Chains A and B, each alone.
Chain A
Amino acid sequence: MKLKIDGKETEVKPGTSILGAAQAMGVLIPRYCYHPSLSVSGNCRMCLVEIEGAPKLVTACSTPCAEGMSVLTASEKARAARRDVLEFLLINHPLDCPICDQAGECGLQDYYMEHGLHKSRFPQTDKVRRHKRRDIGKHLVLDNERCILCTRCVRFCEEITKTDELCVRERGDHSYIDLKPGARLDNDYSLNIADLCPVGAFTSADFRFRQRVWFLQRTPSVCAGCATGCPLEVHHKDNVVYRLMPRPVEGFPPWLCDEGRMTYKSLRAPGRPAAAFCEEGNLKPAAGLRFAASRLGKLKPEQVAIFGSPFMSLEDNLALAELAAALGTKNFCLHFNTEPGIKDGILMNTDHSPNSRGLALIHAVYGGYTREQFSERLASGEVKFILGRNEEVKAALNAARTDIPSSVFSFSDEPAPGRACVLPAAGHFESDCLFINYAGRLRRARAAVKAPEGVLPVWQAADRIASMLGAPIRLETRAAVLERIKAKIPELADAPLADDTAEFYLK
């Protein structure tokens, strides 16, 4: 059906709201309670628009377009109404902005500058006072005074997590957001509420008071918390990551789970290795690699074992496979048993590793032992040297139940060194890398911050070790690694590996 918005003709499907139609044309109608992923509530009245010929203004979010309608989104009448709505919303809003974490990304601040700019007609001492700083859940702090009762949080708990923790209590200017006495807002997606909240009522306990949002740089990346691989944005400043936020991408819900949001913590976790921990003591990262190479140089190929991991990127696993080939050992494993699937109907995956599909691709090309066969190989006692990542190395050693081979080198971007020599490795927010999620979708993680000095991603470390042994694998640069991936893995031959925007699915 055809209609006019601000004098311009547009055509929409029947049932489209005025707000949706305007947005498709690039006209942004202000809103608080409307959220594209939640049901329409129509309570904030901020999206009022004028329809020519209609006696009253209508809410753009809840009014469907009609044939021949002529909508004015910025007429004098509509603007005046918005100004008045905003004044009502601000009557009882505290002047917290200097200490409010929402400042800089606050709907009230933004629309005040755009539509309000009025002086308050009410003395500050007359404002309705409410409960502040409520410790409401593991990740959230609620400030009832700042709330404008848009009910996005209530609808999120009703419709998305279906946990129904929140309700609006009382009515009129007595109303406030509350939850059952004694209950906590502890669902697996609670931090999305801090994002949804258009004002500073819900704030993240983790991010609170740590950084002003306008100082943060944003790097688009993906979550490596599980096989779902949700798109996210890394917010960082001066080489420190402060928070992970959802990044809206077609085909993904605009949420992140709380667990995924906390994955950045491992970057600065106490005890994260920034040096190589070996029996010789702590070595600088480069010296750690030399030490590993010197051990390797003394051994026969069949005494060396190399372990790929679904927790490492395509690049890392490819480089380890190439290293195994260059060393001429058959003792390598690029295999992982998993049954991925969304376990809660929202985002969280049964498979906690971000790259099991990617590992399977490399396994298909390079072969190697399965996990079970590999454990048997390690148990045979012939193997004297293991190179892999923490999770696998520890699990393999436990499963094999033999004495530790003389040298175990474990790449790790986490604390928990286990029983091995630890070689520090760059985390996935510290290097550009590729994953393939459970649905076969190519995921590109971007380096947002720098790794500690001298700490390399695993693929680069593998390249260095190979060079030191005189068996170069020629993967000095990431471009070279991507070339090798395209050359070796037929499924990825045409994949736009370096292009950040192009979507790619495995066939």
Chain B
Amino acid sequence: MKKFKFSEEFNRKVAPTVARYPRAEAALIPLMQEVQRELGHFPDEAAQALAGLLGVSYARVKGVLTFYTMFRREPGGKYLLQVCRNLSCHLAGSVKLLEYLKGRLGIEEGGTTHDGVFTLITAECLGACGTAPVMMVNDDYHESLTVEKLDKLISDLRAAAKAHK
């Protein structure tokens, strides 16, 4: 396994994060989230390194990492699209949205576009049933979606990604 090196910014955050909890192990999830925020995913090598840092076992970190679906184990696109497929969104037409996205991006559920801009997954209830159908783009909610709105959103995101390059 490759040796993993945490960023300096991450290292600065370790002590204050650990200090917030009665036990070092409790800082596991916040620190895992921090790694994911920086890298976009949580690589396996980081599990070993973080275990050493907090004095817990690799098995413990691996168990937590695989238990929570919001930790991503593989690198994904710049924008993570999570389409809600639970009851309210389903009734409000999320199936059509998902089909549209698959067609426009040319990927299946769980896939990432070739240019590395979008990763498409489905999610269970995002807790915004009043404004169904809903999709999350990274940490932002996009509500009451229609195919037209979605079309514009994708184009805007593409443009934003290009502008950043």
Asked if B60 lies at the interface with its beta carbon under 8 angstroms from chain A, I say yes
The complex places the Cα of A219 from the Cα of B3 at a distance, in Å, of 52
The complex places the Cα of A157 from the Cα of B60 at a distance, in Å, of 12
B: interface residue count bin: 10 to 19
A161-217 CB contacts (< 8 Å) to partner B: 164-171, 175, 178-182
Q: SS class of chain B's interface: helix, strand, loop or mixed?
A: helix
Q: Beyond A167-B62, A169-B62, A180-B62, is A158–B67 a contact (Cβ under 8 Å)?
A: no
Asked if B63 lies at the interface with its beta carbon under 8 angstroms from chain A, I say yes
The complex places the Cα of A166 from the Cα of B60 at a distance, in Å, of 9
B1-30 CB contacts (< 8 Å) to partner A: 1
The 3 A-B pairs at the shortest CB distance, nearest first, are namely: A164-B57, A167-B59, A167-B63
Residues of A within 8 A of B57 (CB): 158, 164, 167
Residues of B within 8 A of A167 (CB): 57-60, 62-63
Residues of A within 8 A of B62 (CB): 167, 169, 178, 180
Question: 25 interchain pairs (CB within 8 A)?
Answer: A154-B59, A157-B59, A158-B57, A164-B59, A165-B59, A166-B59, A167-B57, A167-B58, A167-B59, A167-B60, A167-B62, A167-B63, A168-B63, A168-B67, A169-B66, A170-B66, A170-B67, A171-B66, A171-B67, A171-B69, A175-B67, A179-B59, A180-B62, A181-B44, A182-B1
The complex places the Cα of A157 from the Cα of B67 at a distance, in Å, of 20
For B60, give its contact among A164, A178, A179, A181 (CB under 8 Å).
A164
Residues of B within 8 A of A165 (CB): 59
Contact with A along B48-74 (1 / 0, CB 8 A): 000000000111101100110100000
Residues of A within 8 A of B1 (CB): 181-182
Residues of A within 8 A of B60 (CB): 164, 167
Q: Within the complex, what minimum Cβ distance (angstroms) separates B88 from chain A?
A: 22
Residues of B within 8 A of A170 (CB): 66-67
The complex places the Cα of A182 from the Cα of B48 at a distance, in Å, of 13
User: How many chain A residues have a CB neighbour from B under 8 Å?
Assistant: 17
**In the complex, which residue of chain A has the Cβ closest to the Cβ of B51?**
A164
Q: Within the complex, what minimum Cβ distance (angstroms) separates B46 from chain A?
A: 14
Tell me if B66 and A180 are in contact (CB < 8 A): no
Question: What 7 additional pairs, Cβ within 8 angstroms, besides A164-B58, A169-B62, A181-B44?
Answer: A164-B59, A167-B63, A168-B67, A170-B67, A178-B62, A180-B59, A180-B62
Residues of A within 8 A of B67 (CB): 168, 170-171, 175
The complex places the Cα of A178 from the Cα of B47 at a distance, in Å, of 15
**In the complex, which residue of chain B has the Cβ closest to the Cβ of A168?**
B63
Residues of A within 8 A of B58 (CB): 164, 167, 180
A237-288 CB contacts (< 8 Å) to partner B: none
Q: Show the binding face of A for B, using Cβ within 8 Å.
A: 154, 157-158, 164-171, 175, 178-182
The complex places the Cα of A171 from the Cα of B66 at a distance, in Å, of 7
The complex places the Cα of A158 from the Cα of B66 at a distance, in Å, of 19
The complex places the Cα of A154 from the Cα of B59 at a distance, in Å, of 9
B92-124 CB contacts (< 8 Å) to partner A: none
**In the complex, which residue of chain A has the Cβ closest to the Cβ of B44?**
A181
Q: Within the complex, what minimum Cβ distance (angstroms) separates A33 from chain B?
A: 16
The complex places the Cα of A266 from the Cα of B57 at a distance, in Å, of 37
Q: Within the complex, what minimum Cβ distance (angstroms) separates B131 from chain A?
A: 28
The complex places the Cα of A171 from the Cα of B69 at a distance, in Å, of 9
Residues of A within 8 A of B59 (CB): 154, 157, 164-167, 179-180
Residues of A within 8 A of B69 (CB): 171
Q: Within the complex, what minimum Cβ distance (angstroms) separates A471 from chain B?
A: 64
Contact with A along B30-47 (1 / 0, CB 8 A): 000000000000001000
Q: Within the complex, what minimum Cβ distance (angstroms) separates B31 from chain A?
A: 18
Residues of B within 8 A of A157 (CB): 59
The complex places the Cα of A157 from the Cα of B57 at a distance, in Å, of 11
**In the complex, which residue of chain A has the Cβ closest to the Cβ of B57?**
A164
B143-161 CB contacts (< 8 Å) to partner A: none
**In the complex, which residue of chain B has the Cβ closest to the Cβ of A176?**
B66
Residues of B within 8 A of A182 (CB): 1
Q: Within the complex, what minimum Cβ distance (angstroms) separates B21 from chain A?
A: 20
**In the complex, which residue of chain B has the Cβ closest to the Cβ of A154?**
B59
The complex places the Cα of A436 from the Cα of B1 at a distance, in Å, of 48
The complex places the Cα of A178 from the Cα of B60 at a distance, in Å, of 11
Q: Quick one: which of B1, B59, B62 has the most chain A CB within 10 A?
A: B59
Q: Within the complex, what minimum Cβ distance (angstroms) separates A445 from chain B?
A: 38
The complex places the Cα of A170 from the Cα of B65 at a distance, in Å, of 8
The complex places the Cα of A169 from the Cα of B58 at a distance, in Å, of 12
Residues of A within 8 A of B44 (CB): 181
The complex places the Cα of A175 from the Cα of B60 at a distance, in Å, of 14
Residues of B within 8 A of A180 (CB): 58-59, 62
Residues of B within 8 A of A166 (CB): 59
The complex places the Cα of A370 from the Cα of B9 at a distance, in Å, of 67
**In the complex, which residue of chain B has the Cβ closest to the Cβ of A171?**
B67
The complex places the Cα of A181 from the Cα of B2 at a distance, in Å, of 13
Q: Quick one: which of B44, B60, B67 has the most chain A CB within 10 A?
A: B67
Residues of B within 8 A of A169 (CB): 62-63, 66
The complex places the Cα of A167 from the Cα of B58 at a distance, in Å, of 9
The complex places the Cα of A168 from the Cα of B62 at a distance, in Å, of 8
Residues of B within 8 A of A175 (CB): 67
**In the complex, which residue of chain B has the Cβ closest to the Cβ of A174?**
B66
**In the complex, which residue of chain A has the Cβ closest to the Cβ of B56?**
A164
Residues of A within 8 A of B63 (CB): 167-169
Q: Within the complex, what minimum Cβ distance (angstroms) separates A503 from chain B?
A: 38
**In the complex, which residue of chain B has the Cβ closest to the Cβ of A167?**
B59
Q: Within the complex, what minimum Cβ distance (angstroms) separates B159 from chain A?
A: 38
The complex places the Cα of A154 from the Cα of B58 at a distance, in Å, of 13
Q: Quick one: which of A167, A171, A180, A182 has the most chain B CB within 10 A?
A: A167
Q: Within the complex, what minimum Cβ distance (angstroms) separates A193 from chain B?
A: 14
The complex places the Cα of A154 from the Cα of B67 at a distance, in Å, of 15
**In the complex, which residue of chain B has the Cβ closest to the Cβ of A157?**
B59
The complex places the Cα of A164 from the Cα of B63 at a distance, in Å, of 12
Q: Quick one: which of B44, B58, B66, B69 has the most chain A CB within 10 A?
A: B66
